[in-house]
Amino acid sequence: MNIKCLLIDDEPLALQQLVSYVGKIPYLELVKACSGPTEAMEVMANEKVDVIFTDIEMPDINGLEYIRSLKDKPIIVFVTAYANFAIEGFQVDATDYLLKPFSLTDFMRCAEKVKQQHDLRMAATSGKEKPAGADKKETSESDEKKATQGWENEYVFVRADSRTVRLKISDIQYIESRKEYVVIFSQNSLPVMTLFSLKSIEEKLPKDVFMRVHRSFIVNLTKITEVVQNRIVFGKDASVPLGDQYKKDFQNFLNQNFLK
């Protein structure tokens, strides 16, 4: 079954590139290429759409505002030149985030994520997964137990609202606590929020790779690029604070790996 795609971008060349790339993926089917959300609304009223690829910065209505306005959201992929929109994209449950300029290889990788998400939705619709409402009967404790399964493997699956997301453990940069939830930040995917406590996740992670450095943060020690005063830095755009009560253990780690 083909995955029906709606494309939205106010830049003609960018829209043309998306049309071209969709045409190269056998299981993707183009429904319409739209120059803005207003045109997309008309299409959505009359056509079945499985996935929306949308720019964010557009005149009148931007892509985020349009997606937030949808009651029954299809799979969402944001296509933008601005990396700072990643967190907002995550907050509306986007499946992926294509940063312009991107290659056909990048698009193929994204399309595979879309296909996986589409397959999960189809399985749920056909009754192969849990009946509707079953998740509400599970306790937070059971959710945490299921989410921890697989930390010892190369990949882990975590529950994020109605989605089940696969994360490569070696790609995880850091994990942030937000009350009863944690947000997992990875190199090659959008942040994922899941029902979990930081203490429980700390107990499950490999201790030679992950370290608690703040009451609200666990970091992957192999992903640190530098330490600037009391901040631990990952690449160009991400950093976390180093808490006072965790400085001693973190300094011991630095001393053990310091080139002398």
The pLDDT of residue 37: 92
Residue range 224-241, pLDDT digits in tens? 999 998 899 998 778 999
Q: What is the model's pTM?
A: 0.51
Domain extent, residue 143, equals 135-256
Say whether both 148 and 200 belong to one domain.
yes
Q: Indicate whether 130 belongs to any domain.
A: no
Going by C-alpha positions, the residue among 184, 210, 211 that lies closest to residue 195 is 184
Say whether both 120 and 59 belong to one domain.
yes
Distance, CA of 96 to CA of 183 (rounded, Å): 16
Beta bridge partners of 77: 53, 96
The separation between CA 139 and the C-alpha centre of its own chain, rounded to angstroms, equals: 24
The pLDDT of residue 221: 93
Mean pLDDT (whole number) for 63-77: 87
Residue at which a domain ends, from 94, 125, 156? 125
**pLDDT-based confidence at residue 124 (cuts at 50, 70, 90):** low
The pLDDT of residue 161: 67
Is pLDDT of 136 > 60?
no
Say whether both 77 and 100 belong to one domain.
yes
Cβ-contact 215, 162 below 8 angstroms: no
Give percent of the chain above pLDDT 90. 40
Say whether both 116 and 149 belong to one domain.
no
Residue 104 φ/ψ, nearest 5 degrees:
-60, -35
The angle at the Cα of 9, spanning 104 to 41, to the nearest 5 degrees, equals 125
The pLDDT of residue 89: 47
Is pLDDT of 15 > 90?
yes
DSSP 170: G
Single-letter amino acid code for the residue at 81:
A
Residue range 159-168, pLDDT digits in tens? 876 678 888 8
Single-letter amino acid code for the residue at 29:
E
Say whether both 9 and 107 belong to one domain.
yes
Say whether both 52 and 164 belong to one domain.
no
**pLDDT-based confidence at residue 144 (cuts at 50, 70, 90):** very low
Residue at which a domain ends, from 125, 156, 188? 125
Is pLDDT of 123 > 80?
no
Residue range 86-115, pLDDT digits in tens? 445 445 567 888 888 889 998 998 998 899
Say whether both 180 and 114 belong to one domain.
no
Domain count for the chain, please give it.
Answer: 2
Residue range 38-49, pLDDT digits in tens? 999 999 999 999
